[in-house]
Structure 1
Amino acid sequence: MRNTGLDFLTSKKPNGSTWKLSLHSLAVAAVATCGATVAEASDEVFNEAYRVSSSGNAALLDQYQYAMQDSVLSYYPEYWKLNQNLALQPSSSIVSFAKRYPQSAMAEKLSADYVEEKVRAGDFASASPVVGYVSNADEAEACAVAQVRARTGDPLVLAEFKNKVWLTTDSQPESCVGLARIMLDSPLMTQKDQQQRLFAMLRAGNSGHAFALANKMGMPLSLAQMNQISANPINYLWSAPKATAQDHAYLIFALGRLADSDLNNAISMVDRLAQGVPEDVQKYLYRTVAYIGGTTVLKNNFNAILPSYFDKSYGYPFSPEEAEIYARQSIRFGKWEGVIRAVDAMTDQQKQESRWQYWLARATEQRGDSKSKSYAQQVYQRIATQDDYHGLLAKARLNQAYTSFPQPYQPSSSDYSRLAKDVHFQRAFALRNIDAPDNYVNREWNWAVRQAYLQHDDGLILAAAKRANDMGWYDRAIYAADRTEKKHNYNLRYPTPYQSTVVNYSNSVSINPAWAYGLMRQESRFNVGARSHVGAGGLMQIMPDTARLVAKQMGEPYNSGALSNMNTNIRYGTYYLSMIQGQLSGHPVVATAGYNAGPNRARRWQPDVQKIDADQYAESVPILETRDYVKHVMENAMHYGVVLGQGNQSINRLMYPVPQQY
């Protein structure tokens, strides 16, 4: 490495004293002691540069950038420097970075963050040259980009976000709220669109947005009146007027507030309130009670009347979120015609999802006639070609089982050669090798996989996955192997580290090792050091309180450090899974839900009167995280049954009818 004369860097130690670092000496020492290449020595500088990246010392970062010039990580000091005062940077600096490091992870992040910053400041002109460099936007970033496009001459972008933003009442990023404000003034939003959003805002109790939209529509509302209604909705509803459009708005608002605080009272009043109002208002009053009841199951439990209220609201347009709640409530109670209507009310994009195709087939075959059954069989056959949760459910409906995976693709020398030259994967492995912070490591890895996926290069993805797997970097190996299109390697998708430990402890507490593996894969991707934001730790992500309970049950002292031990974590996790399975009717699906959301919740979600099919139970779980968790664990468990040589695999082995609470 050349000596620039900038031989020593001075900065502060954590204790406040100063230290000096010779970058040239650091690189030489690294090469001498580790036998590393110059590039690898340059990689090592990353962690030192990262430690001072928030110091605001641009000159120091310039020196680190020079020291890292031979590293694939050399763009990081410049990224950190630009990011320090991002809102003050000219767009030309961001564009220059993106052009010099094309299609890179940090160019993507810098560009997306810059657009968001400029949108917050209302500086759409500065953001405009940068939006073209944002290619993988999350929800907030996508709304920011859409705002820029709309404000700089592309109003048609608003139509793309109508279902995602205009009709959404769930919590949204501020950039999406801002996009909705732009839509408010757009001629693309028809009077019917405006009424649908107004009704949704009133139902959700979003008085500010409802007030602004109502004024725009020429039917001004009173915030004082809305505040008074919120304080005592039932008192207002006893004598609510129904003569004007404003009266109808206040009626929906009041019923929404009552349903949110006292669902049973809202149910008892809705029939009376629906009398003597226009048909669209009548339908939306029923929609209001049905939707709020369907989204407050954690507070109110399931209520069998809600699907019928959705039925009564049919004919008034559904938003995507309303249609899904309609479907789930109908699935829960086996109201199959309601399921068909709900799917029919979804967007074309929703309808094409395998989950709703599966449920449409499930509902259609209940009609019993040969045409309906034939249609359902055709849908199942199409979905059964997939190996995900709904594909496995479809296989079971067709009475198909499987005992093996397709022949695994083994990466070729050409695949490994492309891997060695791929700068995105080089960055990910370099960061991993120097124990860089996980957020940087994972961002580079995920970006590298995405770029290979966009190039349809399964061989490159699997070469990277194999190398990561061989390093014991299981979580990223799985992430990569899961994303191939035509060439697959299920050994990399479903690895079995610690196999004798998992099998022995599972067998000792009489649970299926494939189920334990399926849960572990979902919990931690076999990262022993995994920690969740709520404090769960280790391979099976055990909460400290749960570990204390298990230790007590097992008659041993609790040691918080033990959860970081592979052996103890698996022993405690399998024991706890077996324990709650025993508490939850012995049912693996209910126990899986209980492992994630708590056994008391999982028990409350069991039916009150008679058993229901396990797929109905899983789909009606009211917490999105837990609902997806159950599906993934069931899918994993089936595939691990093959890995462990357990013979014919059908998801019905785990997903049999769920009994009523006891």
Structure 2
Amino acid sequence: MGGCVSHKKNKRYLGVVLFHLSLGCTVSIANAANEQFNDALAAANSGNLTRLDQDAIAMQNDVLGYYPEYFKLNTNLALQPASSIIQFAQKYPNSAMAEKLAADYVEEKVKETNYADAQPVLSYITNPDNAENCAIAQVRAKSGDPLVFAEYKDLWLSTNNNMPDSCMGLNRMMSSSPLMTTEDKQQRLWTQLRAGQIGLAASTAQSLGLNVSIAQLTQIQTNPLGYLWSAPKANDTDYAYLIFALGRLADSDLTAGLTAANRAAEGVPPAVQKYLYRTVAYIGGTTVLKNNFNRIVLNYFDASYGIPFSAEEAEIYARQAIRFGAWDSLIRAISVMGVTQQQESRWQYWLARADEQQADKSYKKQASTLYSDLANNGDDYYNLLAQEKIGQKYNRVDQAEPSADDMQRVNQDINFNRAFALRTIAAPASYANREWNWAVRQAYLKKDDGLLLAAAQKAANMAWYDRAIYAAERTVSRHNYNLRYLTPHQNAVVLHSGNVGLDPAWAYGLMRQESRFVANARSNVGAGGLMQIMPNTAKLVARQMGETYNPAALSDMNTNVRYGTYYLSMIQGQLNGNAVLATAGYNAGPNRALRWQPTDQPIAADQYVESIPLDETRNYVKNVMTNTIHYGAILGQGQQYISKWMKIIPLRSSSE
């Protein structure tokens, strides 16, 4: 190998390494590139700008060569002139870190209320997240864009207490804008009072000329029932205190709040009366974990119909209507949503479900049209439900393959090359995933399915399963379902599923949702491995199986799959053998899944799923059911139908 040179300690750029690899030489990428990238990262973390300058020279021809420059600019980012950010973005156009640098810069400048410096950088941000969007909106508003506030009306009415600072700032900007009408501000005030947001409500009231006192709100909060017994009802300020008091009472004692609502609503204007009912209905609909389901909550939502709903309120109204099969109420709930919200596939599906229950044939015809549109527009959860409604079975196993040219192009694509290089050198996952997601986005925007399939195939070959799935899911017209629904560790999954009587399609469906096949995945609550098993769950399973619990064993793929499938089978047996209940129980705990069962009459599985009161679990069950259908097809089980898995949800036993 006369042309080979050892680079074991040489900090030469990755291009040299790739050249020697092409000659068949054995070289260590980790020592030629990892050392440089990690040196630059360490220098950035310690603020060593001199070292970053050295790394920038050493890495200038490297596929990862822009990182030292990025790290240096990102040091004291707020102190950088806008021209430096723009220069970087122009030097490295359409790159992940140019996008991130620009977005972070705008956020920093907005924190300083320095909108002038942020303005010229906006055009370099093409894929902002929620916080960045709010920062951009503030800059747009300051530049006189009159459309901004209309676009963010739902955000302005949101009562989410975990909103990013940039979104809180946008809300404050909207509050002081003359573009927001008196009606807009009154709706915001009432939602804030309903949510118990004392400071925000007092500020909004002031913008309406109302003297709503923080001290009085605080005093009411200590004894809301006592206040309601003798509450004055003479003016808008009194009505504000009344809404707040009823909301605080319902929040601490829903039964008392539901009982007090009628008395509170006596002798007040119709709009105020309706919002009093809205207040207890919303709180009842969002505290199901504590208070269980209550039909009176839906009655009060119905009583509140006729005044504007926020997006949050409309969704909770709809979910309560779904739970109780109140189809007229559901139609009303969907009718008060904004156009964008209404067009979501979930509400199109539920509108069809409500329409088909009507006696009028025109409604049934509309339901059929909605189902057909959904059935032919994808194969996610609601598409699969709609397909079955019109009698279609599912057996789609598209296997479009990337061409040799596609594979060559992915090897030449700078964005994918950065991602693969970072993965190869075991850089922090946050960098590798960011580059990968950016590369996928660029290919998706160009509808370059061949490039996406090639990237997914290459990632799958190197066991980078989660990113392979991420790319394969985003093809537009050429699809490969073997890549979208990968089946790693198939021998173990089939064996251990079969040992406990589980369909391996379900085990795979759950595993894909839990970990995307990242074997060392760890959740923020301590769950680990392919099937994300909690330590206490593992101890229980080990005891049930007559084994000694060993925490280290959970990191073993085989043990993790064996314990996960055993636990899923165990809770399925506890929950009427029902797959939907067991899936919900795997995520939220079997006791919760049981508590959410109906007590008056059985309900359809889709109603149960849609009314699950935890967002995470509700979406989890939908995704697992969808995955399971696809895996049934992938594993060669023939035509699939989602009702096979989504059986009627039986009554909860009176003894439970």
8 Å CA contact retained: 1:27, 1:38: no
Residue equivalent to 1:395? 387
Aligned residues: 642
C-alpha contact 2:327 2:354 (8 A) present in aligned 1: yes
Q: Does 1:602 align with 2:593?
A: yes
Instruction: Give 1:302 deviation, angstroms.
Output: 1.0
Aligned equivalent of 2:610? 619
CA apart distance, 1:220: 1.2
Note closer, same or farther for the CA distance 1:25–1:585 as it changes in structure 2 (3 Å cut): closer
Gaps of 5+ in 2: 1-8
Deviations 1:299-345 (A, max 9, x none): 11111111111111111111111111000010001011111111111
Could you tell me the TM-score, scaled by structure 2's length?
0.95
Match 1:581 to one of 555, 572, 577? 572
Unpaired runs of 5+ residues, structure 1, are 1-20
8 Å Cα contact 2:11/2:35 also seen in 1:
no
State the Cα distance separating 1:29 from its structure 2 match: 9.5
Q: Deviations over 1:157-185 (max 9, x none)?
A: 12211122344445311111111111112
| Residue 619 of structure 2: aligned partner | 628
| CA deviation profile, 1:218-259 (whole Å, cap 9, x unmatched) | 111111111100111011001111111110000001111111
Report the alpha carbon displacement of residue 359 of structure 1 after superposing the two structures with TM. Answer: 0.2
Counterpart residue type for residue 289 of structure 1: V
The 5 Å alignment of 1:223-238 reads 223-238=214-229
In structure 2, C-alpha distance between the alignment counterparts of 1:497 and 1:141, rounded to whole Å: 37
Indicate conservation of the 8 Å contact 2:13/2:32, yes or no.
no
Residue matched to 1:410 = 401
Q: Retained in 1: the 8 A contact 2:11–2:32?
A: no
Q: Displacement, 1:529?
A: 1.3
Q: Take 2:412 and 2:11, find their aligned partners in 1: how far apart are those partners?
A: 27
**Aligned-residue CA RMSD (Å):** 2.0
The match for 1:165 is 156
User: Do the aligned partners of residues 170 and 353 (structure 1) sit closer, same or farther apart at CA in structure 2, a change above 3 Å counting?
Assistant: farther
Does 1:352 pair with 2:346?
Answer: no
Q: CA deviation at 1:38?
A: 9.3
Greater alpha carbon shift after TM alignment, 532-541 vs 168-177 = 168-177
| Structure 1: distance between partners of 2:43 and 2:393 | 57
Say yes or no: does 1:251 pair with 2:242: yes
Partner of 2:327 in structure 1?
Answer: 336
CA distance in 1, matches of 2:174, 2:578: 48
Q: Please, which moves more after superposition, 571-580 or 593-602?
A: 593-602
In the alignment, is residue 89 of structure 1 matched against residue 48 of structure 2?
no
Task: Report SS of the residue matched to 1:269.
Answer: helix
Amino acid aligned to 1:610: Q
User: 2: CA distance between counterparts of 1:618 and 1:594?
Assistant: 12
Matched, 1:520 2:511: yes
- Counterpart-to-counterpart distance in 2, 1:633 and 1:25: 44
Alignment partner, residue 18 of structure 1:
none
Q: Shift of residue 127 of structure 1? A: 1.3
Q: Secondary structure at 2:163's aligned position in 1?
A: coil
Contact 1:307-1:330 within 8 A present in 2 as well: yes
Structure 1: distance between partners of 2:363 and 2:488? 46
Q: How does 1:251-650 map to 2 (within 5 A)?
A: 251-385=242-376, 386-406=378-398, 408-650=399-641
Residue 314 of structure 1 aligns to a residue whose secondary structure is coil
Decide whether the 8 Å contact of 1:43 with 1:73 is kept in 2.
no
**What's the counterpart of residue 16 of structure 1?**
none
Counterpart residue number, 1:655: 646
Q: 1 CA distance for matches of 2:30 and 2:496?
A: 45
Normalised TM-score (structure 1): 0.94
Partners in 1 of 2:306 and 2:346 — Cα distance? 23
SS of 1:276 mapped into structure 2: coil
Contact 2:156 2:188 in 1 (8 A): no
Give me the whole-angstrom Cα distance separating, in 1, the residues matched to 2:311 and 2:568. 35
* Residue 47 (structure 1) shift: 2.3
Q: Any idea what the Cα deviations from partners look like across 1:140-167, whole Å, max 9, x if unmatched?
A: 1100111111123324312211122344
CA, structure 1 residues 25+166, in 2 after alignment: closer, same or farther (shift >3 Å)? Answer: closer
Q: Identify the match of residue 11 of structure 2 among 17, 20, 23.
A: 23
* Secondary structure at the counterpart of residue 558 of structure 1: coil
Question: For the Cα contact (< 8 Å) 2:401–2:480, is it kept in 1?
Answer: yes
Letter matched to residue 395 of structure 1: Q
Which whole-Å CA distance do the structure 1 matches of 2:186 and 2:238 have between them? 14
DSSP 3-state at the match of 2:60: coil
2:61 maps to 1:61: no
- For 1:139 and 1:25, locate their aligned partners in 2 and report how far apart those are by CA, in whole Å: 36
Say if 1:92 and 1:584 are closer, same or farther in 2 by CA, change over 3 A.
Answer: same
Match of 2:4 in 1: none
Aligned partner of 1:161: which letter? Answer: Y
The alpha-carbon deviation at position 23 of structure 1 amounts to 3.3
The change in CA–CA distance for 1:29 and 1:75 in structure 2 (over 3 A counts) is closer
Measure, in 1, the Cα distance between the counterparts of 2:103 and 2:17: 38
- CA deviations on 1:2-32 (whole Å, 9 max, x unpaired) are xxxxxxxxxxxxxxxxxxx863599989969
State the one-letter code of the partner of 2:113.
G
Matched, 1:135 2:130: no
